[in-house]
Amino acid sequence: MTKLLIDAGNVCAAFHDEKVRNVPSSKVQCDEIWSFSYAKAKNVRFAKSALLDSGDVWTWTGIDADSKLIVSWHVGDRSMSTGTAFMGDLKARLAHRVQLTTDGHRAYLGAVSEVDFDADYAMLNKIFATDYAGPGRYSPPKCIGAVKQTIMGNPDPEHINTSFAERQNLTMRMSMRRFTRLTNAFSKKFENHCHALALYFFSNFCRVHKTLGATPAMASGLCDHVMRMADCVALIDAANPVPAVRGPYKNVKMLNFKLRHYRQITARRVRSRLHPPPRWWPPEFASRGRQPGSGSVAPTSVSQTLRPNFPISWLAYFQGALLRVWHPHISNAVWLERRTSHEAGRLLNSDRKKPSPQGPDRVT
């Protein structure tokens, strides 16, 4: 199900980016709506497996007041950098100069100036009551008024409002379960949150507006028919071609065996790199050397003195060397008896009797 959401979100975002261009709009209203991913910002530091993009998520939207078309949308935080990216994308999708209206969020001032937005820009500063309803209050305070402020150009005072943008926020919160407050249906990943939004904004081409009698895309002249979700499925199929015929069946047991063998070889190589063999070998070890089925062999040359004349695994050799460094009082016989390599133990003890637990070399 998640893969279907990802595929649908990718094709819907690409379709919106391609089709929503040169929009003949005259009045645009902008606003942002709050949500969160994985955990709220105040609870991220207490979360067990929170990702880097966990916390509050804001969706910036720009709606055409005449056709109710979502011209541009952007997901991020509430900072000026995110607002600048949103305003730059909105400016690139408009065909001519428009009247722009936003709320009193200060990030809009720097964003509009940063992208050099050619518009008649005005702000609607809302005034909220200062009543205090206690620590358990969740709803915003009551709006008791609004002040219209001209920022740039010559905007029409009658059209300085954000009513359509606020109504669009309500539609989003009522239509997508991820935006519902006080539930566990919030987005667990930021990427899936963006995919769900891209799928929702595909309704610009599918949902018929009751007042207009057509879809917002048709009212803006971007398409000439009502699109269906079958068109979205066709876009998904076009973006994801049919996979090739599967090859012959592979033996799972043989694959597991090869995987275990590969892991063992890799572990041995890692151990050999972390603990390289020393360049010396104690002469007394060579004097105790034995070969399977034979008696003691005395060293006859310098080469036999510097290295053992019996096969022994590198693991037992490393453990013996480290044991002698950490515990110099432990003799060679105790080391030979306490090694963990079963192969070396079998070869060394094949023709001699193990020392008694009460022997002098046993450490208690």
Per-residue pLDDT of the chain (364 residues; tens, 9 = 90+): 789 999 999 999 999 999 999 999 999 999 999 999 999 999 998 888 888 889 999 999 999 999 999 999 999 999 999 999 999 999 999 999 999 999 999 999 999 999 999 999 999 998 888 776 666 666 777 888 889 999 999 999 999 999 999 999 999 999 999 998 888 999 999 999 999 999 999 999 999 998 899 999 999 999 999 999 999 999 999 998 877 776 666 666 666 766 777 777 777 666 666 555 554 445 444 444 444 444 444 444 433 434 444 444 555 556 566 555 555 554 554 554 554 444 444 544 554 444 555 544 444 4
Number of structural domains in the chain: 2
Residue after which a domain boundary falls, among 190, 223, 239: 239
Q: Is residue 220 part of a domain?
A: yes
We report the CATH number of the domain holding residue 46 as: 3.30.420.10
Whether the Cβ atoms of residue 314 and residue 277 lie closer than 8 Å to each other: yes
Q: Are residue 64 and residue 183 in the same domain, yes or no?
A: yes
Q: Are residue 163 and residue 227 in the same domain, yes or no?
A: yes
Q: Are residue 293 and residue 189 in the same domain, yes or no?
A: no
Q: Are residue 10 and residue 141 in the same domain, yes or no?
A: yes
What does the pLDDT read at residue 137? 65
Q: Is residue 129 part of a domain?
A: yes
C-alpha distances out from residue 207 to 149, 218, 235, 239, 242, Å: 34, 10, 18, 23, 30
Q: Are residue 48 and residue 171 in the same domain, yes or no?
A: yes
Q: Other CB atoms closer than 10 Å to residue 165's CB: what's the count?
A: 23
What global pTM score does this model have?
0.65
Q: Are residue 89 and residue 140 in the same domain, yes or no?
A: yes
What does the pLDDT read at residue 277? 53
Q: Are residue 182 and residue 93 in the same domain, yes or no?
A: yes
Rounded CA separation 102/82 (Å) = 15
Residue after which a domain boundary falls, among 239, 264, 284: 239
Q: Are residue 133 and residue 176 in the same domain, yes or no?
A: yes
Q: What are the b/e assignments for 51-86, b being 16+ CB within 10 Å?
A: eeebbebbbbbbbbbbbbbbbbbbbbbeebebbbbb
Q: Is residue 255 part of a domain?
A: no
The residues that bridge with 95 in the sheet, in sequence order, are none
What does the pLDDT read at residue 20? 96
Residue after which a domain boundary falls, among 218, 239, 260: 239
Q: Is residue 260 part of a domain?
A: no
Q: Is residue 358 part of a domain?
A: no
Q: Are residue 9 and residue 78 in the same domain, yes or no?
A: yes
C-alpha angle with apex 13: 239 to 116, nearest 5 degrees?
A: 140
78: domain range? 2-239
Whether the Cβ atoms of residue 304 and residue 285 lie closer than 8 Å to each other: no
What does the pLDDT read at residue 300? 43
Q: Is residue 76 part of a domain?
A: yes
Q: Other CB atoms closer than 10 Å to residue 195's CB: what's the count?
A: 22
Q: Are residue 202 and residue 75 in the same domain, yes or no?
A: yes
What does the pLDDT read at residue 251? 64
Q: Is residue 98 part of a domain?
A: yes
Rounded CA separation 39/220 (Å) = 38
Q: Is residue 19 part of a domain?
A: yes
pLDDT digits 0-9 by tens, 315-331: 555 656 655 555 555 45
Q: Are residue 14 and residue 57 in the same domain, yes or no?
A: yes
The H or E element that residue 317 is part of is helix 314-326
Q: Are residue 36 and residue 147 in the same domain, yes or no?
A: yes
What does the pLDDT read at residue 1? 79
